[in-house]
Amino acid sequence: MRGEGGMRLFPISSGWFAAFVIGAVLVSAPRAQAWSKEGHILTCKIAQALLEPEAAHAVKNLLPHDADGDLSSLCVWPDQVRHWYKYRWSSPLHFIDTPDEACSFDYTRDCHGPKGAKDMCVAGAVTNYTSQLLHYREGTSDRRYNMTEALLFLSHFMGDIHQPMHVGFTSDEGGNSVALRWFRHKSNLHHVWDREIILTALADFYGKDMDALQKDLTKNFTKGIWSDDLSSWGDCEVLSSCPTKYATESIGLACKWGYRGVTQGETLSDDYFNSRMPIVMKRIAQGGVRLGMLLNHVFSEHGREIPAPT
Ligand SMILES: *[C@@H]1O[C@H](CO)[C@@H](O)[C@H](O)[C@H]1NC(C)=O
Ligand SMILES: *[C@@H]1O[C@H](CO)[C@@H](O)[C@H](O)[C@H]1NC(C)=O
Ligand SMILES: *[C@@H]1O[C@H](CO)[C@@H](O)[C@H](O)[C@H]1NC(C)=O
């Protein structure tokens, strides 16, 4: 399942990479959107805006007609189907449980399903669906696999693996069982990171306008606060080390910012929101940029040169 070696996600100089991202952003136009799972929609919108013509074409080709060419309209599909009988197997692919307080990710130790099935976690899923899509250009796609589903799963899981609390502690289910209040309503720690912080930011700073938030995120990685950092975002090997890097970053952030100082039953408000919002926003941007680059890689000429994973 895990590929050996392979190419760097961005096999180009960092300056060129930054110039490419900025160029791609300048030529992309904003699109209208539906309102639902905000983090995934933002990640997929950012990614799709960064696609080169080859990848843009492949994505449009793989999307069902009713998506109208908009990847973000189907990026929440894996969340919708995970409870259906037919897709129940996919449920463990959305997260990773790490040992309580370990604050680290170890693929062999942590990437398995509830009954120990190897690779059944979000890091294994990113590798799995990347390697399935690598066969798309070759026309050698395994008939067991549905390339549309591979695209939707990969796009969704690239979001999940960047959400710090999706790589959380085992006993509290990534913060799901840490009940608390978000300002005045009941919530839990996992949900605060999935949704509450994004919704509060949208309401307080962006007039609930997703396009405005997407523009601000994009501005911040092209010429704003994250632009110096941008070139390091692609510094890993597609099939082998990228998913491990992303998951390791997430559990680090979960410990440093997610769990820290939070106790069961308390009320989280301005202090928590103000200090955590920048982390959430950066993770959404990283997920989007990395998904865009990954799809460019997978659907491009040199994507073929990656040895098939065993
Ligand atoms: C890989 O993808 C196939 C097809 O969707 C699925 O049956 C399998 O469980 C996946 N495994 C992982 C680790 O994602
Ligand atoms: C691939 O999956 C999509 C989404 O589940 C489905 O609509 C489509 O019919 C599938 N295609 C094939 C060839 O099975
Ligand atoms: C973008 O950066 C500015 C600081 O320059 C910050 O105030 C703002 O919250 C950032 N926006 C997002 C979406 O992260």
Q: What is the pLDDT of residues 227-243, one digit of tens each?
A: 999 999 988 888 889 99
**For position 3, what pLDDT does the model report?**
37
**For position 144, what pLDDT does the model report?**
81
**For position 302, what pLDDT does the model report?**
62
Q: What is the pLDDT of residues 267-276, one digit of tens each?
A: 999 999 999 9
The closest residue, in CA terms, to atom 2 on ligand 2 is: 149
Q: What is the pLDDT of residues 168-225, one digit of tens each?
A: 999 999 999 999 999 999 999 999 999 999 999 999 999 999 999 999 999 999 999 9
Q: Which atom of ligand 2 is nearest to the CA of 81?
A: 5
**For position 238, what pLDDT does the model report?**
84
| 100 HSE (CA, 13 A, CB side) | 5
Report how far residue 146's alpha carbon sits from residue 260's, in angstroms, rounded to the nearest whole number: 41
The closest residue, in CA terms, to atom 2 on ligand 1 is: 128
Report how far residue 45's alpha carbon sits from residue 72's, in angstroms, rounded to the nearest whole number: 6
78-85: Cβ within 8 A, 24+ apart:
78/152, 78/153, 78/156, 78/157, 79/37, 79/40, 79/156
| Substitution site in 42, 45, 202, 216 for ligand 3 pocket (most atoms within 8 Å of beta carbon) | 216
Residue 19 near residue 265 (C-beta atoms within 8 A): no
**For position 138, what pLDDT does the model report?**
77
- The one-letter code for the residue type at 116 is G
Ligand nearest to the CA of residue 74, numbered in listed order: 2
The residues facing 8 across adjacent strands are 237
Q: What is the pLDDT of residues 35-75, one digit of tens each?
A: 248 999 999 999 999 999 999 999 999 999 999 999 999 99
The closest residue, in CA terms, to atom 7 on ligand 2 is: 64
Q: Which atom of ligand 1 is nearest to the CA of 89?
A: 9
- Report whether CATH 1.10.645.10 matches the domain 4-298: no
Q: What are phi and psi of 122, to 5 degrees?
A: -65, -30
Rg of the chain in Å (alpha carbons): 18
Ligand nearest to the CA of residue 121, numbered in listed order: 1
Kindly report which listed range (16-25, 42-51, 52-61, 279-288) carries the lowest average pLDDT score.
16-25
Domain ranges across the chain? 4-298
Report how far residue 155's alpha carbon sits from residue 111's, in angstroms, rounded to the nearest whole number: 19
Distance 50 CA to ligand 1 centre (A): 27
Q: How far is CA 255 from CA 102, 158, 286, in A?
A: 9, 20, 19
**For position 308, what pLDDT does the model report?**
42
Average pLDDT, the chain: 88
pLDDT band at residue 303 using 50, 70 and 90 as cut-offs:
low
Ligand 2 binding residues, C-beta < 6 A: 64, 146, 148-149
The closest residue, in CA terms, to atom 13 on ligand 2 is: 146
- The one-letter code for the residue type at 121 is C
**For position 232, what pLDDT does the model report?**
92
Q: What is the pLDDT of residues 85-126, one digit of tens each?
A: 999 999 999 999 999 999 999 999 999 999 999 999 999 999
Tokens of 78: 């894996």
Q: Is 184 helix (H, G, I), strand (E, B) or coil?
A: coil
**For position 139, what pLDDT does the model report?**
76
**For position 32, what pLDDT does the model report?**
32
Secondary structure (DSSP) of 51-118: --HHHHHHHHHHS-GGGTT-GGGGTTHHHHHTTSGGGGGGGGGG-EEE-TTT----HHHH-B-TT--B
Q: Running DSSP on this structure, what letter comes out for residue 37?
A: -
Residue 49, exposed/middle/buried by CB under 10 A (0-12, 13-18, 19+)?
buried
Residue 112 near residue 118 (C-beta atoms within 8 A): yes
Distance 112 CA to ligand 1 centre (A): 12
Q: Is 140 helix (H, G, I), strand (E, B) or coil?
A: coil
Closest residue by Cα to residue 39 from 127, 155, 180, 125? 155
Distance 137 CA to ligand 2 centre (A): 18
